[in-house]
Amino acid sequence: MTVEKAHEDMIERVLKGDRRTASQLMRIVDDRAEGHLDLLGALYPHTGRAFTAGIAGSPGCGKSTIVDALIGELRKQAKTVGVVAIDPTSALTGGAILGDRVRMQQHGLDEGVFIRSVATRGAQGGISPSTVDICRIMDAMGMDVVLVETVGVGQDEVDVRMAVNVNVVVLSPDTGDAIQIMKAGIMEIADVFVVNKMDKEGAENVFQELRMFLTMNEATRDTPVVRMEARANQGTQELLQAVLAFREPEERTRLRRRLEIRKRAGEVFTEWFEDRFRDRIDENIERIQRGETTPYEIVGAMKEIMEGFNPKQ
Ligand SMILES: Nc1nc2c(ncn2[C@@H]2O[C@H](COP(=O)(O)OP(=O)(O)OP(=O)(O)O)[C@@H](O)[C@H]2O)c(=O)[nH]1
Ligand SMILES: [Mg+2]
């Protein structure tokens, strides 16, 4: 079978919702393996249908428990659900741990649920470039809703925010989150807040404090705050309602799409560039180390080659 035919078959099976093939494709994409750009290119026209939500919050605040509860609720409505759990600790080992999957395993055998963990990549942290691709594969498979679980509320989550339709930030009384979030000016990032672990002491205080801060600012005045006790499946319906009712401002949708396309174009270009010039860079490494030239000179020379290149010819 030719490579083209194999790719075509693969895409066809993914579009039919074949889980094994989807996993295979996700692995190819996660590894940035040969041909992954062609595969993603072929898939691209079949995406954009799923509703995507980010679930962010400090370690242990209850994100996986909430995701689990949401899956249950969505399945009651006969909606299919994809979950991408981003696992920052695995940056150390290079592979995603199974904790989340085990926790969510009550849905593991359900054909309408597809769960995948991805590792964050190295020092850059945040979502690995393939996270958005994996969401897109789930979208193409026909998942109605895709949930992305990420740790922490910070710079990383800004990236996630740009990739999803609605961003949920979870707080719990365990951590001093509420204050930190207000200090860091993260208030505007959340479209929906959850105060989880309402069974615990101090939870109502966190809720009241948060409400008070949100009302002080015009931009955040109407942000819904949902009280939850996720472990007891309390507040799940309210959360789902708030999530599905959220209407992303048109301006943001446009900005999000533009940034995503730009970023994607940049990635595709960088990969091409590295492929094309890797040898040339390698050839010069020793010369650079000997002090005979600099990386800037080498890239300068490449730029000249690039600028002389006319794609229309
Ligand atoms: N008391 C109480 N505990 C909860 C509640 N929801 C979750 N937990 C517990 O909090 C702990 C962490 O829950 P997870 O859902 O794993 O939290 P997480 O945010 O996904 O954690 P990481 O993925 O490790 O960042 C578990 O022991 C849960 O059982 C709740 O409503 N009340
Ligand atoms: Mg988790």
Instruction: Express each pLDDT in 234-270 by its tens digit.
Output: 999 999 999 999 988 888 888 878 877 887 788 788 8
Alpha carbon of residue 228 to chain centroid: 23
Q: Which among 51, 71, 69, 66 has a CA at the least distance from the CA of 170?
A: 66
107 lines ligand 1 (CB under 6 A): no
Distance (Å) from CA 107 to ligand 1 centroid: 17
131 lines ligand 1 (CB under 6 A): no
What pLDDT shows up at residue 91? 41
Supply the DSSP symbol for 58. S
The Cα-based distances of 112 to 20, 75, 143, 169, 310 in angstroms read 14, 8, 8, 25, 48
Average pLDDT over residues 272-297: 87
146 lines ligand 1 (CB under 6 A): no
In this structure, the dihedral spanned by the alpha carbons of residues 66, 67, 68 and 74, taken in order and rounded to 10 degrees, is 110
In this predicted model, which residue has the larger pLDDT, 243 or 190? Answer: 243
Q: How confident is the model at residue 110 (pLDDT cuts 50, 70, 90)?
A: confident
Average pLDDT over residues 119-127: 52
Distance (Å) from CA 116 to ligand 2 centroid: 12
Residue nearest to atom 1 of ligand 1 (CA): 197
Identity at 98, one-letter amino acid code: L
- Read off the tokens for 86: 């981003």
What pLDDT shows up at residue 92? 41
d(CA 192, CA 124): 27
What pLDDT shows up at residue 127? 55
Distance (Å) from CA 216 to ligand 2 centroid: 31
Q: How many CB atoms lie within 10 A of CB 62?
A: 23
The mean predicted confidence, pLDDT, of the chain is: 83
Q: How many CB atoms lie within 10 A of CB 287?
A: 13
Please give the number of the atom of ligand 1 that sits closest to the Cα of 229: 31
Q: Which among 56, 49, 140, 147 has a CA at the least distance from the CA of 107?
A: 147
d(CA 45, CA 140): 9
Q: What are phi and psi of 192, to 5 degrees?
A: -140, 135
For helices 63-76 and 236-245, angle between their N-to-C axes, nearest 10 degrees: 80
What pLDDT shows up at residue 93? 41
What pLDDT shows up at residue 66? 95
Contacts by 200-207, CB closer than 8 A, 24 or more apart = 200/172, 200/173, 200/174, 201/173, 202/173, 203/172, 203/173, 203/227, 205/173, 206/171, 206/172, 206/173, 206/177, 206/178
For helices 129-141 and 36-43, angle between their N-to-C axes, nearest 10 degrees: 50
Please give the number of the atom of ligand 1 that sits closest to the Cα of 200: 1
Element (H, E) at 242: helix 236-245
The Cα-based distances of 276 to 271, 305, 312 in angstroms read 9, 12, 19
